Structure 1
Amino acid sequence: MNSLRHRLIGLPVLAVLITAAGCSSADDSATVAVPSPDAAVAKLCRNLDTALPRTVDGLSRQDPEPASALTAGWGSPAIILRCGVDRPPKMVDPKVAEGNDPNAISGEVNGVGWLMEKQDDGSYRFTTALRQAYVEVTVPKQRARQDNSAVLVDLAPAIRKAIPNGIAS
C-alpha cells in the first residue's frame, strides 16, 4: 500500500514537471533590438506590421521578444524583420554603388530595392532602399542559401503597400 501511495503522489509531481518543461524559457523565441524611429516612420512601420504575411518562405510567423509592431519573425531559427532601422553605412559607400564590394550589392525584388549584405557569420542582411522607412530583414546562417529571394518575394507586397517610395530621413 505504501508503494501505491508513492506512485499516486508521483503522478501529480510528474504532471507539474511536464507542464513546467513545456513552458520553460528554453524555447526557440528570438530576441531582437527594437528600433527607435521618429513618429512618422513608426506609423509606417505599424502599417507594415498589419500588412505582413503569415508565412515567409514557407515558415509561420513567430514574432521575437520583446513584442513590438516594429519587429516580426518567421520560423526558428527566425528570419527577423525590423522596421525603422538606421540607414546602413554601406548604403552610401561608393564601393557598393560601383559594385566593388562582393559582400554588399544592391538589387530589386518585385518592385522593392534592397541592399544585400553577407555577414561574417554566414547570415544575410537585406535593407530596403528608396523607401520612406528602412526595413531590415536578417536571414540566419541556418536558413541562408545562394538565392534568398523567396524571403524577399514574400515580403515585397507588404512593403510596397505600407512603406511609400522616397528617401528615409
Structure 2
Amino acid sequence: MPGRAPVAPPYARSVDASPRLSPWTVLPSLVRPVITLSAATAVCITATGCSLGDDAPRPPVPSPTGSAAAVCRTLHDALPERVDGQSRVAIEPETRYAAVWGDPGIELGCGVPRPEVLTPGSEHYNPTAEAVEVNGVSWLVEETDGGYRFTTTGREVFVRVTVPDAYAPEVNPLTDLSDAVRAAVPVEPL
C-alpha cells in the first residue's frame, strides 16, 4: 500500500507508538533473535566524552564524515523535544551528532561505529543477536550496566540510543525516536 512502512521481517515485532509499553509484558515479547543482519558500511569514528559539569549527562560525541555527517545533521533537526516524557537537555560542546533527554540522560549518538556483535570476525560477533523493531526501525538490543543500548540495524548510518534503568521498560524511548530515525536515516539497500 502506498505510504505504509515496509513489512517487518519475521524475526521482529512492530510496536505501535500510541500506547506506552508495559515493563512486564512487552520488552520480553519484543526481543527476538536476529537471523540475518545487515552488511552496512561502518563509519569509522572516535567517540569522545562531553564535559557538561559534574552532574550533567556526558553522551559520547560521534564525529561522522561525508554523507554520514549529512544524514546525522538531518536526523538532529528531526529529533523530538521530548522523549519518554523527558525534555531535551543542552549539551556542551554543542553538536549535531548527539542529543540527550532527561536526567539521568537518555543519550542518542548518530554516526557511531558498527557494534562488535554485528562485525564478522570480532571477538563478540553474534549473527543471532537480539533485536526489536519499533515503528519500522530495527534496533540491536544490548544490556549494559545500568540500562540498555539500542543501535539501529539495516540503515546507512548507525544510530545508538542508551537508556538508563530509571526509564524501565527501556524500550519506551524508541517509540518517540523511531519516526525521526525512519524519516532521516535511509534504509540500507540489500
Equivalent in 86, 91, 95 of residue 113 of structure 2: 86
Q: Which amino acid aligns with 2:72?
A: C
Equivalent in 141, 163, 166 of residue 188 of structure 2: 166
Determine if the alignment matches structure 1 residue 155 to structure 2 residue 174. no
Distance in 1, matches of 2:83 and 2:181, equals: 13
The corresponding residue for 1:136 is 160
- Which runs of 5 or more residues in structure 2 are unaligned? 1-52
- Which runs of 5 or more residues in structure 1 are unaligned? 1-24, 99-103
- Report 1:24-39 matches (<5 A): 25-26=53-54, 28-39=55-66
Deviations 1:128-165 (A, max 9, x none): 0011110000012333x2x3232111001100111010
TM-score (norm: length of structure 1): 0.72
The corresponding residue for 1:43 is 70
The corresponding residue for 2:138 is 113
Query: Contact 2:59 / 2:99 at 8 angstroms: preserved in 1?
Result: no
Distance in 1, matches of 2:171 and 2:143, equals: 14
Query: Contact 1:32 / 1:66 at 8 angstroms: preserved in 2?
Result: no
Displacement of 1:95 in angstroms is 6.7
SS of 1:128's partner is strand
Segments of 4+ moved more than 2 angstroms: 63-66, 92-98
Distance in 2, matches of 1:112 and 1:81, equals: 15
Distance in 2, matches of 1:122 and 1:78, equals: 12
Higher helix share: 1
Distance in 1, matches of 2:161 and 2:79, equals: 13
Displacement of 1:46 in angstroms is 0.4
Deviations 1:14-49 (A, max 9, x none): xxxxxxxxxxx45x4212331121211010000000
SS of 1:142's partner is helix
SS of 1:37's partner is coil
The corresponding residue for 1:123 is 147
Query: Contact 1:96 / 1:105 at 8 angstroms: preserved in 2?
Result: no
Distance in 1, matches of 2:100 and 2:158, equals: 17
Q: Which amino acid aligns with 2:166?
A: Q
